[in-house]
Amino acid sequence: MPVTIKGFFENGKVKLVEPAPTKENVPVTVTFPEPEKSLKKNEVKFGSLAGKITVPENFDDEMDELKEYM
């Protein structure tokens, strides 16, 4: 069964954060994550306003100003 262990790539070598589950000479696959995209100036991160905007309880009530159009 595959095991995932975090580590760092430094000077051409992979340094594991914790010991490997085996001492045998076994093949491994190393996957490098894509670098995180930095936000551009004025770019908003998705979900950054979560919980900061509220809708009033009477939002769906009829407005007196629009009664003549209904």
For position 48, what pLDDT does the model report? 84
Spatial distance between the Cα atoms of 44 and 30, rounded to a whole number of angstroms = 33
Spatial distance between the Cα atoms of 45 and 33, rounded to a whole number of angstroms = 20
For position 42, what pLDDT does the model report? 76
Asked whether the beta carbons of 70 and 62 are under 8 A apart, the reply is: yes
45-59, pLDDT tens digit by residue? Answer: 888 888 898 999 999
Spatial distance between the Cα atoms of 8 and 48, rounded to a whole number of angstroms = 30
pTM listed for this prediction = 0.41
Kindly report the CA angle at 29 between 23 and 33, in degrees rounded to 5? 125
15-46, pLDDT tens digit by residue? Answer: 999 988 888 888 888 888 887 776 677 777 88
For position 17, what pLDDT does the model report? 92
For position 39, what pLDDT does the model report? 67
